A = this chain, B = another copy of it.
Amino acid sequence: MNWLRPLAAGAYRVPFWAQHRAPSCPLRAFAAHPENQVAEGVVKVQQPKAQLGTDEGKKNFILKTPKGTRDYSPKQTAIREKVFNTIISCFKRHGAEVIDTPVFELKETLMGKYGEDSKLIYDLKDQGGELLSLRYDLTVPFARYLAMNKITNIKRYHIAKVYRRDNPAMTRGRYREFYQCDFDIAGHFDPMIPDAECLKIVHEILSMLQLGDFLIKVNDRRILNGVFAVCGIPDSLFHSTCSTVDKLNKATWEDVKNEMVGEKGLSPETADRIGEYVRMPAGGLGLIEQLLQDPKLSQNKLAREGLGDMKLLFEYLTLFGIADKISFNLSLARGLDYYTGVIYEAVLLQPQNAHREEPVNMGSVAGGGRYDELVGMFDPKGRKVPCVGVSIGIERIFSIMEQEVEASKEKIRTTETQVLVATPQKNFLDVRLKLISELWDSGIKAEMLYKKNPKLLNQLQYCEDTGIPLAAIIGEQELKDGVVKLRVVASREEVDIPREKLAEEIRRRLES
């Protein structure tokens, strides 16, 4: 019965931080691998003879969700709901509005925004009409929205699924369809104030979710570009070099250097010069000062600007009381092309309930940065709207929460039903229907068994199984007396309540 929950099941077996990385794949695979890395449970189905429709007959097909995707069961959506509520309450606390955009965009809208990662975009089939692609993130659609509606000033959040034809690793929370929770601030403002707020938001959310210790790495594309410039890399290779440097958190310096030299065509000396910077130990104000004194880097205008702003950012983060979780890290580069200023990425250091001695980098759970040029790419007159934002990647957070729930054997309710309408009597369906209808109309969350003559025991068992706290029991005597027997499922205590007071009494009992 291995295929019962083929995609979700694997997630429980081995904690994802304990899984080995594929040794043959030190750098992130950019093209989707043809073979499945995860065990996808499948089953051949004999499709019954066409009773419905005309274009089907007996044939085998495979009962599964598409590669890299999964269903959410009621228990999983219940956990997901908790995570969403935490994130949404934080976004609202910071005054964000909500927008929504279509799941697909014109292919052209997405073109030229993601660098090497563009290969991972899902295209729709050309069925006549426009060429479309599934959104790859929520940032490019946001920029398209701003330009199209000439909005120059907005603070919004957007929670939605995005799509990447990446090599899935679902036990580690990497899917082809996954949620992003984005918060962005667009507009011409004074330096680093919105940027600092984005980091405050990441800090609040990761603290509230209680996922254990975390660290937020920051860097600035202007500083990186300054580094590339003083190391002698031509402008045209900046983005591509960024992509390579970005792999430093998953690969060794040797692998990264090999890619720079072998694939990107840099000289080994140039690569080493870059290495001297991007391999510097992470730090804070000290590292900023050190780089401001660097004889080469301090000559570069962009780098000086970036370092000045980084200093300002740390001032604001100190006022917010969160500077201790922030680390200025020259090896952070971020993969996407559109960043122009500060960039950041949050990593969990250790799963809360794991018994390990040293902190383990569990991978990024949030990331973002400043992208001042993206809206201008869409605007007919090239007008710029500076933007900064953050994206919370919740699949990994879900994985952790699910494992915690699984480990704790905590029972999670998947409904909010307050009362079960029950009867000990035969032929009382009409009485139950009338009573439950009254309760629904009074706003009470009520269920009943869909049987004409259910046994009382089965009705009470249903309450136990699903966590319904109360049963409203009606039989001949109660009907005659105009009352309903209200039973507390946990204590088995029963009390007669006048029928017209029932809704009120249920509400009273469940509020306290």
- Given A99-B72, A319-B430, A320-B433, are A105 and B65 also a contact pair (CB < 8 Å)? yes
What distance in Å separates the Cβ of A18 from its nearest Cβ neighbour in chain B? 27
Judge if A94 is at the interface, Cβ distance under 8 Å. Answer: yes
A61 touching B97 by the CB < 8 A rule?
A: no
Asked if A276 is at the interface (CB within 8 A of a chain B CB), the reply is no
Decide: B95 and A445 in contact? CB cutoff 8 A: yes
Q: Mark A475-492, 1 if CB is under 8 A from B, else 0.
A: 000000000000000000
Selected interface stretch from A244-252, A293-301, A372-380 = A372-380
Interface residues of A (CB under 8 A from B): 1, 3-6, 32, 34, 43-48, 50-56, 61-67, 69-74, 77-78, 80-81, 92-106, 108-109, 111-115, 118, 122-130, 132, 134, 144-145, 147-150, 154, 156, 161, 163, 165, 177, 185, 187, 189-190, 193-194, 196-197, 200, 204, 239, 315-316, 319-321, 337-338, 373-374, 376-380, 382, 414-417, 429-430, 433-434, 437, 440-441, 443-447, 450-452
- Of B73, B148, B156, B193, the residue contacting A64 (CB under 8 A) is B148
Partner of A48 from B3, B132, B377 at Cβ < 8 Å = B377
6 examples of A-B residue contacts, CB within 8 angstroms: A52-B112, A53-B115, A65-B101, A69-B102, A71-B145, A190-B450
Q: In the assembled complex, how far is the CB of residue A80 from the closest CB belonging to chain B, in whole angstroms? A: 8
Given contacts A69-B102, A415-B92, contact A437 B321 (CB under 8 A): yes
A315 partner residues in chain B, CB cutoff 8 A = 430
Quickly give the copy total for this chain.
Answer: 2
**Interface contact B71-A447, CB-CB below 8 Å:** no
In the bound complex, do residue A47 and residue B130 qualify as a contact, i.e. CB atoms below 8 Å apart?
no
Closest-by-CB residue of B relative to A417 is B95
- CB pair B125–A124 under 8 Å, yes or no, is yes
Measured between beta carbons, the chain B residues less than 8 angstroms from A114 are 53
Between A144, A316, A373, A415, the greatest number of chain B beta carbons within 10 A of the residue's beta carbon is seen for A415
Residue in B44, B132, B147, B193 whose CB lies within 8 Å of A380: B44
Residues on B with C-beta less than 8 A from A5 are 149
Q: Are A71 and B200 in contact (CB under 8 A)?
A: no
Please give 9 more A-B residue pairs, beta carbons under 8 A apart, in addition to A5-B149, A124-B125, A319-B430: A44-B380, A45-B378, A70-B102, A72-B101, A77-B98, A103-B134, A103-B163, A193-B433, A319-B433
What's the minimum C-beta distance from A93 to chain B, rounded to whole angstroms? 5
Interface centre among A6, A81, A103, A451 (most CB of B within 10 A): A103
Are the C-beta atoms of B95 and A72 separated by less than 8 Å? no
Docked CA distance A67–B131 (Å): 10
B contact residues around A373 at 8 Å (CB):
51-52
B93-A444 in contact (CB<8A): yes
